[in-house]
A and B are shown apart, each in its own frame.
Chain A
Amino acid sequence: MRILAIDDSRTIRDMVRLTLDREGFETVLAEDGVHGLEVLTSMEEQPDAILTDVNMPRLDGFGFIDAVRQRDEYSAVPILVLTTESARELKQRAREAGATGWIVKPFDPARLVGALRTVTGLK
């Protein structure tokens, strides 16, 4: 399974990678929304799911999800938001942008993996 994970924090990126590596997932990382879009569009095969932070420079998570969903080929890619925020209105904004789900940081590795498996149809 191939996951694109976007977070401006190197620490979180490392943690996500470690978590997903242990599951045998392939992880592709990006540092912010703009970078995420660049990486996404340059991937030969679509990722099975995308994980994204909300607060990021250049383009935040909402903007990123919005931009991804604008393109037909990515309209069905599951996108999980991984953030320290848990305010309802922010979740609502993410939902409106087209987020598939919301996971609060710090994340429980088993839960992150479980959520990824669920939204990708147990690939």
Chain B
Amino acid sequence: MTDPMDAIRATFFEECGELLEQLEAGLLDIEAGRQDDDTVNAVFRAVHSIKGGAAAFDLGPLVTFAHEFETSLDRLRTGVLTPDRQAVALLLKASDHLADLVRVAANGGGAATEHPPDLSGLMQSGPPGSATEIPDDPFDFAPIKVDLDLPGESDDTTDFVERGTSWSIGFESDPSLLSSGNEPLFLFRALQLFGRLTVTSDARALPPLQEMDARVAYLHWSINLDASANDLTDIEVRSVFEFAEDLCTLTILPPEDTLGQEDDDDAEFGLFEPLRVPDRDAENAEAPEEPASIAVPQAPPSASGPDDLAPQLTVARSPSLATSIRVDLDRVDRLVNLVGELVISQSMLAQSVMRAGLEQHSEASAGLDELQQLTRDIQDSVMSIRAQPVRSLFQRMTRIVREGAQATGKTVRLETEGEGTEIDKTVVERLSDPLTHMIRNAIDHGLESPAERVAAGKPEAGVVRLSARQQSDRVIIEISDDGRGIDRPAVLRRAQERGLIPDDASPNDLPVERIIFMPGFSTSTAVSSMSGRGVGMDVVQRAIRDLNGTVSLTSTDGEGCTISVSLPLTLAILDGMIVRSAQQRMVIPLSAIVETQTVEAARIEPLRGNREIVRLHETFVPLVDLAKGMGFLPGVAPGQPERADDEADRALLFVKTEDGGPYALQVDAIEAQRQVVIKGLGDSFGRVPCVSAATILGDGQVALIVDPTGLAHMAGIKRDGAAVSSKEVALQ
């Protein structure tokens, strides 16, 4: 069995991640001048909670720094520290360092990668003249396990002294004892664990009934404890009164001090009927005339130990945090996987039913329809478990924008919209890097300097806009800026210099919107401090494509640029077209298909080099035979009809790629449109060009899912395919 503390430890680090996010978001709000008490308190609490948890796991360096950080934030909270630019910058640094320490601790310790920022500046700044009023650190925090807070711990020398067993305890409660929830009876019960108890109450302070306040403690008590062990210590006895000690006058006389005192042992325990556990009102209302002896009733035996309590465990944990539960991602993924299997076996069942030749309206088909609907509902519900709002992702971008603005000296405002839009958790995580890069690009290349902006009649502050919205089964994320737009001639020049396009190519052949995504094209003319990190838009595109998404870019001169990322709601299910080619069934993602046509052979134009093109509306597009493109030999299986000869009509799918125009994919037959469950090829395959994944079809057969962009690359039509073929057509 795993140690439950491991799970809590995992929870702690997970929670740290959330708290660090809150911390940063709060600090950025403060930086933006949006600080109210709530923000400052939230920031303080985030660090405080990290400290608390870290102390529980004995994570020394983390505790120490969190404490220091917390102290600075407390100064912010109490208004001693003014959150000027410098202070906030330092606090942000501190939050980075804290994140660093958390990471180190999560990875099992070691040293932080960076030195801690010096927070002493925060301890000295403040409104003039206020420095002297600053109290010393009010939190004398140290990660100590127990705070007994007991006086006289050190001078207790009686520990090892053999002595008698009769203790005498005087307990005079303050009137306010009861209102703190300290119940004398309970304290006596706790004392009783040490031995036999005789309690005498002094009710002289009890007022007449009509003047009595049930919440006031009027009684004083003298207790005689006949300890069952003779090594009972003063500390043990006192610890019973720990929480009440400041609300009473307590005198504890150990046995040797009571020698010679009257041993008031005639009140034999058991001589008195155990009193019913009096509730407070009754206890106070009961007015014994003079000091009276009562035996403290035993706690009900049925509840005296954990074992006896065991049956209570079955009691439903009624109103505990019912609104949400946290589930390990692995479990959800297993569920997703199982639902995938369900979809597959449901479609297998559908095929069997069809093959059985049952009537269309038979009970079996009706039941199957229902099953299909249910399966789809289950699938949607399971997928929604993995869905997460993009809010945290967008929040992280605030930081990127801030850093970008600082690095370039531009003034940038980030606007966000649709933060509540939900998308698969994995997608959210894997979008962070591409989004970061696109935002850096927008600030570095898109936005003009403040002076240029003013000259162009724009507001000085540039705007980067981040929006998310759901569009049927996809989520569209847009990153736009109100900058100068893409410098088309410069992009073209650059691409020519790099040999990416022919020297005589014009923007009409290949729009700059597409050139930007070419591998090897760096949008930066000089290695700038920001986006010039060798990462181009092609890498962004690759990352998005890995998520089954697409990227496109539109730019308007002088008005700015918008990059639109379209992503599937989920990574596990794909709408696809099942096609047959060379006796293989394969799946083409529906999202890539522009249209399907059956084309007469005569409409296909041959080109040099055994290539073919076909007319699609007003343009010619290259044609790729799926089987050839994938490397399958056409028509080899014995007993199968020869593949479509040159004279026969051809089934074509016009598919689009992310970095080029559409092309035609020739297949033997288009079978059906289906939702398929995406199954990874597994690690042993590595990356297979032109195959994005596999699926299991209704008949149990495995089919590959084709990556149309990869296929275009393999077939050599690549990005400039459209341009080349239109030229060659012109030559004919």
Residues of A within 8 A of B (CB): 1-2, 8-12, 14-15, 18, 23-31, 38-39, 42-44, 55-57, 69, 75-80, 84-87, 89, 95, 98-108, 111, 115, 117-123
Contacts and interface: CB of A to CB of B under 8 A. Distances in A.
Nearest to A99: B180
A12 B53 contact: yes
Contact of B144 (A23, A28, A44, A104): A104
A12 B180 contact: no
Contacts, number: 175
Given A31-B321, A87-B138, A95 B246 contact: yes
Residue of A31, A44, A102, A123 with most partner-chain B CB within 10 A: A123
Interface string B234-267: 0000001011001100000000000000000000
A122 B8 contact: no
B318 A9 contact: no
A50 to B, nearest CB: 9
B183 interface: yes
A108 B38 CA distance: 32
A115 B420 CA distance: 44
B8 A118 contact: no
A61 B512 CA distance: 60
B243 A121 contact: no
A60 to B, nearest CB: 9
A86 B277 CA distance: 34
A112 B7 CA distance: 21
B11 A10 contact: yes
B140 A87 contact: yes
B128 interface: no
Given A76-B178, A85-B141, A121 B49 contact: no
Contacts of B145: 106-108
A118 B306 CA distance: 14
B53 A57 contact: no
A43 B319 CA distance: 7
A78 B317 contact: no
A86 B67 CA distance: 13
Contacts of A120: 186
A118 B240 contact: yes
Q: Which of A44, A86, A117, A118 has the most CB of B within 10 A?
A: A118
Contacts of A87: 138-140
B243 A101 contact: yes
Interface in B247-304: 247, 277, 280, 299, 303-304
B185 A39 contact: no
A69 B181 CA distance: 9
B182 A119 contact: yes
Contact of A76 (B181, B277, B326): B181
- From A55, A95, A119, name the one whose CB has the most chain B CB atoms within 10 angstroms: A119
B55 A105 contact: yes
A26 B313 CA distance: 6
Contact of A123 (B143, B178, B303): B303
Given A30-B321, A84-B48, A118 B190 contact: yes
Nearest to B241: A118
Given A10-B15, A11-B12, A100-B180, A119 B51 contact: no
Contact of A8 (B45, B299, B310, B318): B45
B8 A14 contact: yes
B41 interface: yes
B315 interface: yes
B529 interface: no
B179 interface: yes
Nearest to B178: A76
B661 interface: no
Given A108-B146, A119-B182, A75 B56 contact: no
Contacts of B45: 8, 55-57
A106 B56 contact: yes
Contacts of B14: 10
A86 B147 contact: yes
A35 to B, nearest CB: 8
